[in-house]
Amino acid sequence: MAGEGYSLPDDLLVLILLLLPTSLRRRFRLVCKRWRDIVNERTPELQITTKILAFISQHGGSRALLFDTKSGGRRRLSWKYPCSHQRSNVALVGTSFSTITVTNPITGETQALPPAPRSPEWEQMRAPGKYAFGYHPTTGRYKVVHIPCGRRQVVNALQVFTLGVDTSWRAVPVDTTPDGGATYNRLCDAISVDGWTYWLDAFSARVMALDLDGESVSWSWGMMRLYQHKVDDLTGGGGGGRRSSAAKGRELLMNEDESNGVLTTFAYVETLEPIQASSSLSS
């Protein structure tokens, strides 16, 4: 076999490709026509699209909405959820002093996590950092990611907690030299899509990305615009000077009778894979 390349049978190639994150598998269609055909025909997520999942918290019946971004923000699905809990905001990861809870926004079910990582520096800065909640589609793991902000918004390491596996937070080093390390743009939320958690660098046009499976941090230049188009508007975040378009994104989501509510939005990736996120989150 050596020297002739590895002509794995189709069935084996499918098994291997299915272990990759969706985005990577789709990218590997660039390898050759055989791989393209196998990915297209044998791995079932061609229809992958990003949608907006919005929660509107109101007295007397909160609502969740799913939007199709492709058709210009048309409402695809809307449902009221019977949450008895009173909350002003929907956050999958909530913090209060040193306690951290993960909340299912639909049922209100909460899960307490071990104490949050602490550092005298963050306390001095009164900057507990941001939390993001991520799901990795091929491993089925849920992870909470803490992005601490130190002096000058420098991020030296992330803390990651895998639900159902970890008993304490793990540090994931962020080594993204040569540009003086990573920073975090506090004005813009971190967001998790399709097995990655993304955030914006504070001082350069970089999008930072944590692979939720391998837990390594990489980054990309020149993707800022794409990030803002695809993510920023959806989350209502505002990476410097983007406030107006973020507000426009909000208007798109809310009509009059909803405008009293508190809105939280998430980018939501829909695939045809049997993702268990929805079923286990609502179980």
Partner 1 sequence: MEVDKGKGEAEETRKVAEADRDTVTLKSSDGKLFEVSKEAAARLSTVLAGMIAGGSIDDNGTDLKQIGSEALENVVDYCNKHANSIPSAALISSSISFNTAPFKEPEEWERKFVDRLSHDALFDLVEAANFLGMERLLDVTCHKISEMMKGKSPDQIREVFNIKNDYTKEELEEIRQELAWAFYDD
Task: Determine if 283 is a binding residue for partner 1 (CB under 8 A).
Answer: yes
Q: How far is CA 87 from the centre of its chain?
A: 22
Show the site string, 131-160: x = touches partner 1 by CB under 8 A, - = not: -------xxxxx------------------
Show the site string, 242-271: x = touches partner 1 by CB under 8 A, - = not: ------------------------------
**Piece of 22-30, 62-70, 87-95, 176-184 that binds partner 1 (CB under 8 A):** 22-30
Backbone phi and psi for residue 5, each to the nearest 5 degrees, phi listed first: 80, 175
CA of 11: how far to CAs of 15, 99, 259, in Å?
6, 47, 52
Task: Determine if 32 is a binding residue for partner 1 (CB under 8 A).
Answer: yes
Which amino acid does the sequence have at 279? S
Window 171 to 230, contacts with partner 1 (CB under 8 A): 193-194, 196, 198, 207, 209, 211, 213-214, 216, 218, 220-223, 226, 230
Show the site string, 104-123: x = touches partner 1 by CB under 8 A, - = not: -----x-x------------
Task: Determine if 91 is a binding residue for partner 1 (CB under 8 A).
Answer: no
The span from the CA of 253 to the CA of 247, in Å, is 10
**DSSP structural state of residue 88:** S
> Least CB distance from residue 91 to partner 1, whole Å?
16
Tokens of 68: 């199709």
**Beta carbon nearer to partner 1, 50 or 119:** 50
Task: Determine if 130 is a binding residue for partner 1 (CB under 8 A).
Answer: no
Side-by-side strand order, sheet with 191-193: 191-193, 196-200, 206-211, 217-221
**DSSP structural state of residue 239:** -
To the nearest 10°, the Cα dihedral for 236, 237, 243, 245? -50
> Cα 282–114–100 angle (5° rounding)?
60
Task: Determine if 58 is a binding residue for partner 1 (CB under 8 A).
Answer: no
**Piece of 3-11, 90-98, 123-131, 168-176 that binds partner 1 (CB under 8 A):** 3-11
